[in-house]
Structure 1
Amino acid sequence: MSRRDQIRMTEDEVRAYFAEQKVINVASVGPNGRPHLAPLWYFPHEDGVATWTYGTSQKAKNVRRLPEATVLIEDGDSYEKLRGISLEADVEIIEDTAEVTRMGITLMQRYAGAKPGDPVPSELSAFIAGQAPKRVGLVFRPTKIVSWDHTKLGGTY
């Protein structure tokens, strides 16, 4: 078995990693043809991830022009602890305000430590409802997933 095969995450491990991590780095193609890289909060969504952003942001403009991105999630502070997932993804832009509101609530609940299905405080609903008309949802649907988990090597190289 190759080293690459040894460190690849299973589908269940990928899902667990999505649920565990907190920040994605999204690379889209800027107007000059160069990568535009931005860190974002996210939530696991279907087989990929989703987030929201201001509709006038550079990343929103980029994915309107070319609805593709590469998403990186990674952690580890030494070689034997490196873990990560890189997604090549098609990007769906969500503009329906009600759906963007739902996405915003999902994000804020996740980062506040709430569990799916927990009641949404009225103050949060009001805040998100005020933000949603200015934002768009971004759903990253993977076309290719590459993963690595060096902890599977047991400290050997």
Structure 2
Amino acid sequence: MSRRDQIRMTSDEVREYLAGQKVINVASIGPNGRPHLAPLWYYPHEDGVATWTYRTSQKAKNLYRLAQATVLVEDGDSYERLRGVSFEADVEIVEDTAEVTRMGIALMQRYAGAKPGDPVPDELTAFIGGQAPKRIGLVLRPTKTASWDHTKLGSGVY
């Protein structure tokens, strides 16, 4: 078995990893043809992730032009602890205000420590409802995935 095969995560491990992390780095293609990289909060969605952004942001403009992105999530502070997932994604742009509101609430509850299905405070619904018209939702669906988990190698293996 190759080292690459040894560190690859299973589909279940990728889903668990994405559920445990907090920030994705999303690369889209800017108007000059160069990558535009931006960190975003997200929540796991289907086999990918979902998030939102201001509809006038550079990443939104880039994704309207070409609805494709590359996503990176990584952690680890030494070689034997490196873990991560990178995927190329087709991006669905969500403009429906009610759905963007739902997505914003899902994001804010996740980062506040709430569990899916927990009651949504009225104040949060009002706040997100005020933000949603200025934003779009982004659903990033993987088309090609790479993953690595160096902890599978055991300590001292470089």
Once the two structures are TM-superposed, the CA of residue 140 in structure 1 deviates from its matched residue by 0.3
1:55 matched to which residue of 2? 55
Task: Output the amino acid matched with 1:154.
Answer: G
Matches within 5 A, 1:2-151: 2-151=2-151
- Give the Cα separation in 1 of the matches to 2:136 and 2:14: 26
Task: Output the amino acid matched with 1:73.
Answer: V
TM-score (ref. length: structure 1): 0.99
| Unmatched 5+ stretches in structure 1 | none
Once the two structures are TM-superposed, the CA of residue 146 in structure 1 deviates from its matched residue by 0.2
Structure 1 runs of 4+ aligned residues shifted over 3 Å read: none
- Give the Cα separation in 2 of the matches to 1:60 and 1:74: 23
Once the two structures are TM-superposed, the CA of residue 45 in structure 1 deviates from its matched residue by 0.3
Once the two structures are TM-superposed, the CA of residue 81 in structure 1 deviates from its matched residue by 0.3
Partner secondary structure for residue 130 of structure 1: helix
Partner secondary structure for residue 56 of structure 1: coil
Task: Output the amino acid matched with 1:88.
Answer: E
Once the two structures are TM-superposed, the CA of residue 91 in structure 1 deviates from its matched residue by 0.5
- Give the Cα separation in 2 of the matches to 1:133 and 1:110: 21
- Give the Cα separation in 1 of the matches to 2:118 and 2:67: 33
| Unmatched 5+ stretches in structure 2 | none
Once the two structures are TM-superposed, the CA of residue 92 in structure 1 deviates from its matched residue by 0.5
Task: Output the amino acid matched with 2:73.
Answer: I
Output one character per residue of 1:61-103: Cα deviation in whole Å (capped at 9) or x when no partner. 0000000000000000000000000010000000000000000
- Count of residues in Structure 1 that have an aligned counterpart in Structure 2: 157
Q: CA RMSD in A?
A: 0.4
Partner secondary structure for residue 118 of structure 2: coil
Once the two structures are TM-superposed, the CA of residue 106 in structure 1 deviates from its matched residue by 0.1
- Give the Cα separation in 2 of the matches to 1:146 and 1:49: 15
Partner secondary structure for residue 85 of structure 2: strand
Once the two structures are TM-superposed, the CA of residue 148 in structure 1 deviates from its matched residue by 0.1
Output one character per residue of 1:97-131: Cα deviation in whole Å (capped at 9) or x when no partner. 00000000000000000000000000000000000
Task: Output the amino acid matched with 1:146.
Answer: A
